[in-house]
């Protein structure tokens, strides 16, 4: 079961403020762009693994998304990825396509929020 990611901020503003202090205002969006370069391949990997019943690959790939999202302050993406990872660890792959749609939606929201400035 997915937690309600919509109750969380899209972006952790305190982390973004720290990143801006370190690397200027261009750093956080640049980090998000780097995160986005790999995330869709990981989602495809999760989808394929779920279809094959490969729960371990689902968990590992979701873990990578969760870590990348947390590193750039994408709280909602990290929350959904954490739920996908847990489903993989528990070999509960039914409903994975719905979870991945939610993850993709949150990634789109992140993209619009972080890169529209």
pTM for the whole structure: 0.91
Distance (Å, rounded) from C-alpha 2 to C-alpha 17? 28
Domain residue ranges of the chain, discontinuous segments joined by +: 8-114
Distance (Å, rounded) from C-alpha 56 to C-alpha 17? 35
C-beta of residue 106 within 8 angstroms of C-beta of residue 66? no
Model pLDDT for residues 83-111, shown as the tens digit of each residue: 999 999 999 999 999 999 999 999 999 99
With respect to CATH, is domain 8-114 assigned 1.20.1370.20? no
Model pLDDT for residues 28-48, shown as the tens digit of each residue: 999 999 999 999 999 999 999
- What are the distances in angstroms from CA 68 to CA 42, 51, 53, 75? 11, 24, 24, 10
C-beta of residue 77 within 8 angstroms of C-beta of residue 47? no
**22 Cβ contact list (under 8 Å, min separation 6):** none
The Cβ of residue 18 has, within 10 Å, a number of other Cβ atoms equal to: 14
pLDDT at residue 76 is higher than 80: yes
């Amino acid at each position: 079961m997915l937690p309600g990611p919509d109750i969380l901020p899209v972006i952790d503003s305190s982390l973004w403020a720290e990143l801006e202090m370190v690397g200027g205002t261009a750093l956080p969006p640049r980090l998000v762009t780097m995160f986005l370069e790999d995330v869709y391949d990981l989602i495809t990997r999760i989808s394929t693994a779920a279809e094959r019943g490969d729960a371990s690959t689902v968990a590992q790939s979701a873990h990578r998304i969760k870590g990348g999202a947390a590193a750039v302050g994408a709280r909602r993406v990290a929350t959904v990825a954490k739920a996908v990872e847990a489903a993989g660890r528990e070999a509960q792959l039914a409903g994975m396509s719905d979870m991945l749609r939610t993850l993709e939606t949150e990634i789109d929201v992140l993209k619009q929020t972080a890169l529209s400035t």
